[in-house]
Structure 1
Amino acid sequence: MVGAPSRERVVSIHLVGGGWPMEDDGAVYRPFFEELAAHAEAAGKIEGARLAIVLVRDGDGPERFAELVTAFEHLGKIDAVAVLAPEGTPIEPASFAEVDGIVVWGGLTPAYRASLEPSFGELRRLVASGVPYLGFSAGAAIAAEKAVVGGWKIDTVEIGAEEAAEDLEQLTVAPGIGLIDLAVDVHAAQWGSVSRLIAATEAGVVDGGVAIDEHTALVIGEGPLQVLGRGSVWKITPDSGSVRVSTAGAS
């Protein structure tokens, strides 16, 4: 079941490796918004799909929310719900009442994981019921059962760039939402995070995973895995004591 959602029911999970503002006429996001609209239509909603947009950020949450709403309105009719939290503030499950889709955006990955932890069970329930999920950058990383939340060393060995370490020194893997059974790293080519996921796999901290480039999405649904956008998805697989790396581009 490698690469599939970790629950019994196969659902749509869209993982974007970063990269903003939107490019290529929103090609990376359009399948998510098609599913969002279909979910709202099935629920009989005519005022627009109820879309929860999660931002865990200090200072610029409202401004970034407005920016995202403006961009997303070009992709579909939405009733946007602001789920905003400063870093260190928990997000309660009630924030996601009656939503047709969930977007978890980017910022400091450990902060997103900590704030959303009280809602992990509710997010799993919603996605299992058919609510599509889009994780961007941090939102993609924490979708995994074992979330790679940062770090640039294992003990004293450097495994990546300090600038991409999410304010953490040691490689840190923590329980994520649990939507998929692969670890996820993001900004793969741009931040060099492929090496971090390779090291995490070699060390046995995770059982392999995917690193996703910016302006690129991995879509996990009912059919084969899809890659959208201009970049690559790097797949890291343990292989008899070593690690195998392969890449996939847009279908």
Structure 2
Amino acid sequence: MHLFLLGNTPGLERVKEDFLALCGEKPRIAVLCAGEKWPRYAPHYLQVLTTAGAAEVQFIGEENGQLNPRKAHAILQGASGIVVGGGDTYLYQQHYVLSTLSDLIRQKVRAGVPYLGISAGAILSCLTCLIPEEDRTSPEQPHYLPGFGFMSTLVFPHFSEWDGFAELQAAAAELHMQEVWGLDEQAAAYFHDGTLHHTYGEWVWKVKPTGEAQKIMKDAPVLLD
């Protein structure tokens, strides 16, 4: 599985060529969005991806307040790359993890279609998702959610900006995970089959249940035979 996980939108500029290079000769990208505000971000995604070489970019998101699952399924079925945007992680989970679209998304990514997750999209790549305190709007919202299951670790976007070390380390200890990952807003990480192969920008952090966070810079070829 090819996973490009971003701490925030600026990372898209850093990973765009590598992501599209893994999407085939004529990349067809499905961008999964959620919430009322997604159309204001669509032009930026479209410009970045098409300038980098995408042959087609199609958006999935609410239209008149509703998500059209039939249209979404058709777009996903033809996609050679999947982007999951940022925003309300709970809403993204309802639309794409807990819906009829989840099996298709999992099937395609596990078959080798590259996945690019921005903030909420990065969180939802995990089997168990830690929802940062900054991302929770009420105490009633759960701290953990089930995700797509592409990663068996945790990913925390906006890591330094949201002062996420203590929260992420406590979650690692609670869930008995040996290492988990923090992504700053200018950073991105490429994981292949669960293993970190490449980092972009500053900084990607490795956090263990005890000890200090470790800055990771890993330069390696992304394209695989």
Q: Fold match, TM over 0.5? A: yes
1:177 Cα deviation from its structure 2 partner:
0.7
1:80 is matched with which residue: 57, 66, 85? 57
Q: 1:224 to 1:144 in 2, by over 3 A?
A: closer
Q: 1:96 to 1:138 in 2, by over 3 A?
A: same
- The separation in 2 between residues aligned to 1:113 and 1:206, in whole angstroms, is 22
Q: Residues 11 and 186 of structure 2 are in contact (CA less than 8 Å); yes or no, is this contact kept in structure 1? A: no
Alignment of 1:96 with 2:96, yes or no, is: no
1:32 is matched with which residue: 8, 19, 22? 19
Q: How many pairs does the alignment contain?
A: 213
Alignment of 1:178 with 2:138, yes or no, is: no
Give the match for residue 182 of structure 2.
211
- The separation in 2 between residues aligned to 1:104 and 1:205, in whole angstroms, is 27
Alignment of 1:165 with 2:135, yes or no, is: yes
Which piece of structure 1 moves more, 134-143 or 214-223?
214-223
Q: Which has the larger radius of gyration?
A: 1
Q: Residues 52 and 80 of structure 1 are in contact (CA less than 8 Å); yes or no, is this contact kept in structure 2? A: yes
Give the match for residue 6 of structure 2.
16
Structure 1 moving runs of 4+ over 6 Å: none
Give the match for residue 223 of structure 2.
none
1:250 Cα deviation from its structure 2 partner:
4.5
Q: Which amino acid aligns with 2:120?
A: A
Q: Which amino acid aligns with 2:6?
A: V
Q: 1:173 to 1:91 in 2, by over 3 A?
A: farther
Q: TM-score, normalised by structure 1?
A: 0.75
1:61 Cα deviation from its structure 2 partner:
1.9
1:109-139 CA-to-partner distances (Å, cap 9, x unmatched) read 1111121121222211101111100001110
Q: 1:122 to 1:221 in 2, by over 3 A?
A: same
- The separation in 2 between residues aligned to 1:182 and 1:134, in whole angstroms, is 17
Give the match for residue 195 of structure 1.
166
Q: 1:32 to 1:230 in 2, by over 3 A?
A: same
- The separation in 2 between residues aligned to 1:125 and 1:105, in whole angstroms, is 19
Identity of aligned residues (%): 23
Q: Residues 145 and 182 of structure 1 are in contact (CA less than 8 Å); yes or no, is this contact kept in structure 2? A: yes
Task: List runs of 5+ in structure 1 lacking aligned partners.
Answer: 1-10, 42-47, 152-163
Q: Residues 103 and 135 of structure 1 are in contact (CA less than 8 Å); yes or no, is this contact kept in structure 2? A: yes
- The separation in 2 between residues aligned to 1:195 and 1:89, in whole angstroms, is 37
1:56 Cα deviation from its structure 2 partner:
0.5
Determine helix, strand or coil for the equivalent of 1:167: coil
Which is richer in strand? 1
1:21 Cα deviation from its structure 2 partner:
8.1
- The separation in 2 between residues aligned to 1:222 and 1:178, in whole angstroms, is 11
Q: 1:250 to 1:90 in 2, by over 3 A?
A: same
Q: Which amino acid aligns with 2:5?
A: L
- The separation in 2 between residues aligned to 1:225 and 1:211, in whole angstroms, is 12
- The separation in 2 between residues aligned to 1:97 and 1:234, in whole angstroms, is 34
Alignment of 1:125 with 2:107, yes or no, is: yes
Task: List runs of 5+ in structure 2 lacking aligned partners.
Answer: 220-225
Alignment of 1:245 with 2:223, yes or no, is: no
1:16 Cα deviation from its structure 2 partner:
0.7
Determine helix, strand or coil for the equivalent of 1:235: strand
